[in-house]
Amino acid sequence: MDAQMLAEQLAHFTGSATFTRHGLVRSLLLTEGVAFLTDQAGAHWLMDAIASWQSDARARAEPFQAWSLVVDAATRSAVLTMTDGNSPRRIIRQEIDWTDFVLEEIALWCIAEGDHRVLMLPSEY
């Protein structure tokens, strides 16, 4: 799926009736939109990266996490960052040497819900 088609499809996700558990971090739930993104963009690695940070004290301390992946089209490298959503201060930053992710940028929100974290598209909030 090309970038334009994927972006158009993602825009249709609002809310989520079902959730998918992350394969390794069972307390991380993916909304329908994030599961679609994962499958259609081959972005299991991105969900794994975000899931792996959930054990970090800095991520655990934030009930609302704003994640952003920005891809450099020239080098195909990317930067994954997390903020608290209120300030531009980056709490977590991970450099990714190479990616074939089709979008130039994606934002995801991760919200604490009891013992779980729910990873969603901003349109699903």
Q: In this predicted model, what pLDDT tens digit does every residue of 3-31 receive, in sequence order?
A: 999 999 999 999 999 999 998 899 999 99
Per-residue model confidence (pLDDT) at position 85:
94
Taking the C-alpha atoms of residue 88 and residue 96, their distance in angstroms, rounded to an integer, is 20
Q: Residue 112, exposed/middle/buried by CB under 10 A (0-12, 13-18, 19+)?
A: middle
What pLDDT sits at residue 124?
Answer: 97
Is the pLDDT score of 88 beyond 90?
Answer: no
pLDDT value at 105 more than 90? yes
Can you list the alpha helix ranges (DSSP code H) found in the chain?
3-10, 32-40, 44-53, 57-60
Given a cut of 90, is residue 93 above it in pLDDT?
A: yes
- For residues 6 and 80, is the Cβ–Cβ distance under 8 A? no
What is the residue range of 62's domain?
A: 3-124
CATH of the domain at 72: 3.10.450.150
Instruction: Dihedral sign for Cα 110, 64, 93, 57, please.
Output: negative
Residue 51 sits at φ, ψ, to 5 deg, of -60, -40
Residue-level pLDDT at 72: 98
pLDDT digits (tens, 9 = 90+) for 36-83: 999 999 999 999 999 999 999 999 999 999 999 999 999 999 999 999
Total structural domains in the chain? 1
Q: What is the pLDDT of residue 61?
A: 96
CB 66 within 8 A of CB 84: yes
The pLDDT of residue 1: 86
